[in-house]
Amino acid sequence: MKKAHTTRTLRSFKRVKKNDSLQMLTCYDFQTASMLDETDLDLILVGDSLGNVVLGYETTVEVTLGDMITFGSAVKRGAKNKFVVVDLPFGTYTHFQQGLEAAVELFQKTKAEAVKLEGCHPHHLELIKRLVENGIPVMGHIGLTPQSVHQMGGYYTHGKDNESAKALMEGALKLQEAGVFSLVLECVEKELAKKITDALEIPTIGIGSGYETDGQVLVINDLLKMGKHQPPKFCTPVSDMFELKKNLISTYLEETRNKSKLEEANDHHH
Ligand code: KIV
């Protein structure tokens, strides 16, 4: 198994391993984390996408700092040998002092190795700089930033026109300057994702942004198809866990409904 990454190995990854994609998956619970801990996965993200896939919310706007602490610490208890990144949720970093306090609490209580936050406005840059100076590694996230879904007017590919492409490139460079150790590019037009990747010294991790970023991230529930609905089109599931689990439970229910057969079925399953 691979040795756990550090912010230093992640930075040098960019120069050394041009053909070795940095692989990140989301994770939200202890048991899945302990399974991922036994794989060669590079990075675990406790994304606020847990609002959608674990808690059943329509958007990530409803996720709280308490939620991120609960799930983030569960994941870290299971994945002791992985570099774990936890999302700062919506509304916890709208001003400087609040953002500092939220990030410190999240970092301390989850024991994660880094936090991630969405955006590249001046107040984000200022916060990132201060966190990094105080020992909290930060992963950036630009392009489609789901916490701003209402403000952006839905989910769509970013950087298609010159103006937004320029803003994204500038944002990426400013985030690097502020000190992020890595940058998520979500639904960024793929030529632009490549350009940003080439322009940066830190690794980029793409989702729905083509394959020329330094790494890729997927929501594990999409990859395994754990939900009822079809995953986004950039994710080809490797399984259909929803159907698989449903069938296993249905078989179990059939086999054990008749009380006289309970003992027999239990023997069979052991
Ligand atoms: O919350 C999340 O899962 C994310 C990834 C999709 C990058 O931010």
Residue 222 Cβ < 6 Å to ligand 1: no
Determine the average pLDDT of the residues in 236-256.
97
How far does residue 206's CA lie from ligand 1's centre (Å)? 10
> What are the distances in angstroms from CA 209 to CA 153, 156, 193, 255?
19, 11, 6, 46
pLDDT for the residue numbered 264? 74
Task: For residue 46, name the pLDDT band (cuts at 50, 70, 90).
Answer: very high
Whether the Cβ atoms of residue 68 and residue 86 lie closer than 8 Å to each other: yes
Q: What pTM does this model have? A: 0.95
pLDDT for the residue numbered 17? 65
Which tokens sit at 266? Answer: 């239990």
Tens of pLDDT, residues 167-188: 999 999 999 999 999 999 999 9
pLDDT for the residue numbered 180? 98
- Report percent pLDDT > 70 for the chain: 97
Question: Of ligand 1's atoms, which has the minimum distance to the CA of residue 184?
Answer: 7
Tens of pLDDT, residues 61-92: 999 999 999 999 999 999 999 999 999 999 99
Residue 217 has pLDDT above 80, yes or no: yes
Q: Which amino acid is at 48?
A: D
Which one, of 208, 209, 231, lies nearest residue 220 by Cα? 231
Query: Domain 7-239 sits in which CATH superfamily?
Result: Phosphoenolpyruvate-binding domains (3.20.20.60)
Which one, of 184, 87, 182, lies nearest residue 141 by Cα? 184
pLDDT for the residue numbered 16? 66
Whether the Cβ atoms of residue 226 and residue 237 lie closer than 8 Å to each other: no
Residue 1 has pLDDT above 80, yes or no: no
| H-type alpha helices, the chain | 7-16, 30-36, 50-53, 65-78, 96-110, 122-133, 149-152, 162-178, 190-199, 220-223, 241-257, 262-269
pLDDT for the residue numbered 26? 98
Residue 262 has pLDDT above 80, yes or no: no
Ligand 1 probe mutation, 184, 220, 221, most atoms within 8 A of CB: 184
Residue 184 Cβ < 6 Å to ligand 1: yes
Residue 54 has pLDDT above 70, yes or no: yes
Q: Which amino acid is at 68?
A: M
Residue 270 has pLDDT above 70, yes or no: no
Using the structure block, give the residue that is written with the tokens 């970093």.
Answer: 93
Residues paired with 25 in a beta bridge = 44, 218
Domains of the chain, by residue range, sit at 7-239, 241-270
